[in-house]
A and B are shown apart, each in its own frame.
Chain A
Amino acid sequence: METFAFMVANWPVILQRMGEHVSLVGAAILIAIATGVPIGIAITANRKAADAVLYAASIMITIPSIALFGLLIPILSLIGQGIGYLPALVALVLYSQLPIIRNTYTAITNVDPALREAARGMGMTTAQRLREVEIPIALPVIVSGVRNAVVLSIAIAAIATYIGAGGLGTFISRGISQTDIRQLLTGAISVSALAIAADAALLGLQRLLTSPGLRIR
């Protein structure tokens, strides 16, 4: 009840933190899609490269976020961006690679080889084949990878407050340092709510992007 009163009293701050959180995760996800999807597609051409890239991405995701931030600070300090938004963004982009690359790679390699052959035999170029056949068919699985990445990033972004990136994690860190249960719960509840809402929204998007021909069974 106290927490609820706190939330009501502080909603403008909550909204502001929420905005920071969303813009950080949003930017990270856009960059991660722009890099992860092409990488996922590119590695379908070469089994060895695929294994290496997927291995590297899995290692990446096992690095604890605090440790990764710690690693990024000296590197990014070289350009004067050791703490704040940039290291948080870089870390989220790196964490998002695995679900996005893996799902893209799996979805594209799972496209029925007969379809690939039919597309080639009818005179599609590689780009046309990807655009007309492989990506549309792989899309539901790719988007579900993006969903994983979004939920993961929303959770990790909460920790980025420790390197001064702001966001909803601020409530949590303050709650801990000031032993203020209201702030802690406010942070935790809003992070969860954001994750659930984002996941639901992306699920809707996923349905929307899936060709009706793939939904029928």
Chain B
Amino acid sequence: MIRLERLSKVFGTVTAVDGVDMEVPEGEVCVLLGPSGCGKTTTMKMINRLIAPSAGKIFIGGRDTAGQDDVALRRSIGYVIQQIGLFPNKTIEDNICVVPDLLGWPRRKSRERAAELLSLVNLDPALFLRRYPKELSGGQQQRVGVVRALAADPPVLLMDEPFGAIDPINREVIQDEFMKLQAALRKTVIFVSHDIDEAVKMASRIAIFRDGRLVQYDRPDDILAHPKDAFVADFVGQDRTLKRLRLVRVEEAMMADPPRVQAEDTLDTAVALMREHGHGSVVMVGPRGRARGQVRLEAADGRRGLVGENHEPLPGTVLVGDDLRTAVARMFEHDVTWLACVDADGFYKGYVTQRGITHLLGATYGKRS
């Protein structure tokens, strides 16, 4: 969708961007990441030609942007800046409708769209459309800034540290909102950040820049698991393994098809099963396979009776779709080393162990480094 070919920008004696080649597929979020002054903003602004490239080409949807009218090009690209840049003299409604108005949309259509977009970011149109930017909180303004970029439904969105000015708690909320929006709209997004956590959370691909050069361009998990060099490893941080916890789903670390018992089984059966697998406990499932409780070897060994009368509650469960961070947090919370994994309907799917997680994260490191 967006392709940069040997793109460079020289300001006087400073080479801000140096021969960058990359391609962002349609519908993906590409985060440009790197320390201050590495050329992220310059790269982004060359895409909507706020900065003219010194060398190289940019293609959007296969068309070279150099041959196009700058103004028309910019109207077809959503743009969000860190300072938000809402026009203080215009109402929220008119701010959102800037590009539709420039494009000459019928007024009704654009105003309806403004209302619809506001509700998408949980701002009540009845309350906010007629307000002025100063009457909104920072977070609310930032939401309007994002929505304004989406107003004319551009296929491409450029965002320069859009959530940089917001406090960490609100930032998480807005990031989540944006991801939901993006899941529905599937725009091709280029997103500048210098926050590795934000990048890991939002990106389908991360492009790491250093001194104007593109050092590594990969999926977030690959960047964390296989940093290309010491610079990248250092930039993503000593705790990159912990960051990966966010990216890996419970499913991937889970032991599937686990042993299980039912209420009408005897404790002997349960004990035999645990011994066979070398487990300290076994999950009891209901008639259709929902996780209902557990039997611990320690408690059941040497006793007689049915599982149904002797089971204990499960210490904790985790959804197969959750990330490993959630799983690990829950283990700490309940002081256990394993968790039963269930699907959204509560069916028992497998279990994760601390050992399994450690092993999975370690194994991917082993592959390349």
Contacts and interface: CB of A to CB of B under 8 A. Distances in A.
B101 to A, nearest CB: 9
Interface in A92-150: 112, 114-115, 117-125, 128, 132-133, 136-137
A123 B99 contact: yes
A112 B86 CA distance: 11
A213 B79 contact: no
Contacts of A117: 50, 81, 85
A136 B87 CA distance: 10
B124 interface: no
Contact of A125 (B71, B88, B132, B134): B71
Interface in B39-86: 48, 50, 71-76, 79, 81, 83-86
A214 interface: yes
Nearest to B92: A213
B252 to A, nearest CB: 40
B127 to A, nearest CB: 16
A115 B85 contact: yes
Contacts of B149: 122
A213 B85 contact: no
B89 A213 contact: yes
A123 B75 contact: yes
B102 interface: yes
B6 to A, nearest CB: 24
A133 B88 CA distance: 9
Tell me which of B85, B89, B99, B102 has the highest count of chain A C-beta atoms within 10 A of its own C-beta.
B89
B293 interface: no
B359 interface: no
B180 interface: no
Given A212-B132, A216-B135, A120 B88 contact: no
B50 A121 contact: yes
Contacts of A137: 87-89
A48 interface: no
Interface string B86-121: 111111000000110010000000000000000000
A190 B85 CA distance: 48
A124 B84 CA distance: 17
Contact of B88 (A121, A128, A211): A211
Nearest to B44: A121
A217 interface: yes
Interface string A194-217: 000000000000000001111011
B220 interface: no
A133 B50 contact: no
A168 B1 CA distance: 72
Interface string B129-163: 00011110000000000001100000000100000
Contacts of B102: 122-124, 128
Contacts of A122: 74-75, 79, 98-99, 102, 148-149
A100 B34 CA distance: 46
B89 A136 contact: yes
Contact of A123 (B71, B81, B85, B87): B71
B134 A216 contact: yes
A120 B135 contact: no
A133 B102 CA distance: 13
Given A120-B74, A125-B71, A214 B89 contact: yes
B133 A114 contact: no
Contacts of A216: 132, 134-135
Given A123-B71, A216-B135, A118 B85 contact: yes
A74 to B, nearest CB: 47
A121 B71 contact: no
B72 A123 contact: yes
Interface in A165-199: none
A211 B89 contact: yes
Given A117-B50, A121-B48, A128-B102, A213 B88 contact: yes
Contacts of B48: 121
A152 to B, nearest CB: 28
Contacts of B71: 123-125
A214 B132 CA distance: 8
Nearest to B130: A212
A136 to B, nearest CB: 4
Contacts of B72: 123
Contacts of B83: 112, 114, 118
A114 B74 contact: no
B79 A121 contact: yes
Contacts of B87: 115, 118-119, 132-133, 137
Interface of A: 112, 114-115, 117-125, 128, 132-133, 136-137, 211-214, 216-217
Given A120-B74, A122-B99, 7 more contacts: A122-B75, A122-B149, A123-B75, A137-B89, A211-B89, A213-B90, A213-B134
Interface of B: 48, 50, 71-76, 79, 81, 83-91, 98-99, 102, 132-135, 148-149, 158
The 7 residue pairs across chains A and B that have the minimum distance between CB atoms: A118-B85, A213-B132, A123-B75, A123-B74, A114-B83, A211-B89, A121-B79
15 contacts: A115-B88, A118-B86, A119-B87, A120-B74, A121-B74, A122-B98, A122-B102, A123-B73, A124-B71, A124-B98, A132-B90, A137-B87, A211-B89, A213-B88, A217-B134
